[in-house]
Copies of this chain bind each other. A is one copy, B any other.
């Protein structure tokens, strides 16, 4: 009898603990997801489309972006790559063939990390594109 009672209590405790464990990681994940990007600095390297220009997405994804990301250390929160498909406005040309974006915590740290590696980064351009990129520095508002 006493054994059963203890077992019941243990199981009750286990299910309560399990329930609260279930809640807290979900909450903190949600919290993270909401906070992670807001306030971060984005450095977007945008490759304008033009007739005759080339862009090798495979090289960009497997070599160039990982190389640059490697220079940024813990200041880099994440990086993304997107492939331009078209303009959202009828009869307008594709604005960009590709965009690579670094999400960083500090612009100053980003610049300090890139400066000594600028030549290596620029020298690699010829390996995947004939386009001179436009760079936008922005802040994530939401």
Give the interface centre of A84, A92, A94, A137 by most chain B CB atoms within 10 Å. Answer: A137
A18: CB under 8 A from chain B? yes
Once A84-B136, A135-B89, A141-B57 are accepted as A-B contacts, the answer to whether A46 and B95 lie under 8 Å apart by CB is yes
A37 and B80 in contact (CB under 8 A), knowing A8-B11, A19-B18, A141-B61? Answer: yes
How many A residues are at the interface, by size bracket?
35 or more
Across the interface, name the chain B residue whose C-beta is closest to A142.
Answer: B81
Query: Which residues of the other chain, B, contact A134 by a CB distance below 8 angstroms?
Result: 87, 89, 92, 95
Contacts A18-B22, A88-B135 given; 6 further ones with Cβ under 8 A?
Answer: A4-B5, A7-B8, A8-B11, A11-B12, A82-B138, A87-B135
7 contacts across the A-B interface (CB closer than 8 A): A15-B18, A18-B19, A25-B26, A26-B29, A80-B142, A83-B138, A84-B137
